[in-house]
Chains A and B, each alone.
Chain A
Amino acid sequence: MSATAVHAHRRQRRHLTPARIGIYFFLLSAAAFFLMPLYIMLVTSVKTMDEIQLGNIFALPADFTIEPWETAWSSACTGVECNGIRGGFFNSVAIAIPSTIFPILLGAMNGYALSFWKPRGANLLFALLMMGAFIPVQVMMFPLVRIMATLGLFGSLPGIVLIHIVFSMPVMTLLFRNYYASIPQELFNAARIDGGGFFRIFIQLMLPMSTPIIIVAAIMQVTGVWNDYILGLVFAGRENLPMTVQLNNVINTTTGVRLYNVNMAATILTSLVPLTIYFVSGRWFVRGIAAGAVKG
């Protein structure tokens, strides 16, 4: 049949139109901007101070050395002592583990109670908890110091863990409540009919079903606790200072010559745990953001 080709033109496949070139250009430039600090961190941490003084921050190391890393780990000065930030690493681990386990358990229990049992007044309590999440920590700071001192927990490991439990309860509860909201009420009802009580259903049915959200919560909590600075600064006590606090001490309270390569090595060491979690967990990390950010 004869067709008059009025508008006929070959549609371009999705290849290099100017628009797409522009998109890739923008994205690649942005990627360079985002990667630049990481590159500089890495590169600076393996240079000698002589090389750094030469002033080219982008240059690859001519004289590769891992001495800054050794110094950062074991002999940098964190205030009075000069034992590196390895102490801070172990402190952060000691803080992070219980500060992840307990909030997850409590958040799961809260979310479970809110989603399935729905006791009276629970929703109001939850709303208050959510609003409380927005209270700046400075408002609570001094009273909390007094309370912790009264309890004899100020400046101790159990103390800082308790503080983390308190401050992470809103987000953890929100995560689990939203997760359990997607589990059918019928499942719960069937378990009730089978004779299960509050804790039995929680431990034997709900917790085992919660693996995905537990992973997400763990990732978020470990990252958040590890990266915390202000709570650790105030409540952890001198023997338990987390790595972030020690890092800041190493870099900003040193007198004399600033060892930039040691500083950068220390910074990378401090960021190693959360960055590793991030790169390994990929999708789960993003799910955490989406789940935790959807307030209500």
Chain B
Amino acid sequence: MNKKLNRLRRQAVSWAALVPMALVVIAGLGTALWSLKISFSSSRTFPADDFIGFAQYARLLDNDRWLLSLQNLAVYGVLFILAALVIGFLLAVFIDQKIKGEGVLRTIFLYPYAMSFVATGLVWQWMLNPEVGIQQTVRQLGYPDFKFDWIIDQDRVIYTIVIATVWQASGLVMALLLAGLRGIDEEIWKAARIDGIPPWRVYFSIVLPMLAPSFATAFVLLFTAVVKLFDSVVSMTQGGPGIASEVPAKFIMDHLFGRANIALASAGSIMMLLTVLVLVAPYFYARTRSAGRKQPS
């Protein structure tokens, strides 16, 4: 009897210690469900208790601004992820070639990641300013017809955000892929040399497949950053010119606070959540499956 009591007591302490974690999990799930409930209602500034089904979602799909924000995010997402992966990969590969000054270069490529999104957006906003930024500077250097006013161009402004955030995130991708590269057994390179495989082929057929987990991790991180895109847009373009660089996160925040339409915003946020789940769930599934399949040697 005493033994059982002791064991329960020991277990109780460790369970008690996990209460904060449990609270956070409940908060996470609870708030998500709460938002879901609101999205089915007609709440404006305050939550209303009615249930109108998917009406808000239908309204979203009819909302020009929301549709534009989705389109922007899609374009942005593809360009950002591709560019960051490619540049990060090239940086990692080249740095791995036993070059001089490796430490300095790594520091240079990664420092943008230490800056806030807001600061990044502001700096690039300044640089891309047509009147006193890069466009003007190049014109003064003797190219009076040089045009680089994308930031005030409705069709091109989203590319400016790509540039700024790729500048910030490529270093992160480089760090992740470099760690992966360094984890490759040195002797595989030796074996490839003996087999007479040219270096580019080694990268293509052997290294890249081995780096798949690192790429997957980088991709997931980049993808979540895309969905969360908010700070950079607010600081760089405020969603402009007009609504040309609107993104879902900003749409939702605007409607939660300024435009006082909680239900519509909640519907939008649930759509965001679903998008993330669709990608992240298979990733988790794949990781747990591959971890269980490896044979012990």
Contact = CB atoms under 8 A, between A and B. Distances in A.
Interface size class of A (residues with CB under 8 A): 35 or more
11 contacts: A23-B94, A27-B91, A55-B136, A55-B140, A119-B15, A223-B114, A228-B116, A229-B117, A271-B116, A279-B107, A282-B103
B134 A57 contact: yes
A130 B253 CA distance: 24
B208 interface: no
Interface in A42-73: 44, 52-53, 55-58
A274 B288 contact: no
Nearest to B93: A23
A31 B109 CA distance: 7
A120 B10 CA distance: 12
B265 interface: yes
A267 B110 contact: no
Instruction: Give the most central of A33, A146, A252: most B CB within 10 Å.
Output: A252
A198 B14 CA distance: 7
B131 interface: yes
Interface in A259-296: 260, 263-264, 267, 270-271, 274-275, 277-279, 282, 285-286, 289-290, 293-296
B63 interface: no
Interface stretch (B64-72, B78-86, B151-159, B270-278): B270-278
A213 to B, nearest CB: 17
B5 interface: no
B25 A263 contact: no
Interface in B133-154: 133-134, 136-137, 139-140
Interface string A150-181: 00000000000000001001100100000000
Contact of A129 (B24, B95, B108, B131): B24
Instruction: Give the most central of A125, A229, A260: most B CB within 10 Å.
Output: A229
Interface stretch (A5-13, A109-117, A204-212): A109-117
A164 B154 CA distance: 36
Contact of B280 (A119, A134, A199): A134
A143 interface: yes
A247 B28 CA distance: 30
Contact of B31 (A31, A134, A139, A229): A139
A227 interface: yes
B13 A34 contact: no
A125 B123 contact: no
Contacts of B287: 295-296
B249 A290 contact: no
A37 B167 contact: yes
Contacts of B207: none
A137 B32 CA distance: 10
A275 B118 contact: no
Contacts of B230: 229-230
B132 A53 contact: yes
Contacts of A35: 108
A191 interface: no
A29 to B, nearest CB: 11
A24 interface: yes
Interface size class of B (residues with CB under 8 A): 35 or more
B187 to A, nearest CB: 20
Contact of B172 (A109, A142, A289): A289
B32 A110 contact: no
Given A14-B98, A110-B18, A252-B238, A227 B115 contact: yes
Interface of A: 14, 20, 23-24, 26-27, 30-31, 33-38, 40-41, 44, 52-53, 55-58, 106, 109-110, 113, 117, 119-120, 122, 125-126, 128-132, 134-144, 146-147, 166, 169-170, 173, 197-199, 223, 226-230, 234, 244, 247-248, 251-252, 260, 263-264, 267, 270-271, 274-275, 277-279, 282, 285-286, 289-290, 293-296
A244 B119 CA distance: 8
Contact of A295 (B15, B35, B217): B217
B265 A142 contact: yes
B188 interface: no
Nearest to B277: A134
B212 interface: no
Given A110-B21, A119-B14, A139 B137 contact: no
B270 A139 contact: yes
A173 B21 CA distance: 9
Nearest to A246: B118
Nearest to A273: B114
Contact of B17 (A36, A113, A223, A294): A113
A239 B27 CA distance: 26
Given A31-B105, A143-B34, A275 B11 contact: no
Nearest to A102: B20
Given A14-B98, A132-B29, A285-B110, A290 B17 contact: no
B176 interface: yes
A275 B111 contact: yes
A248 B234 CA distance: 8
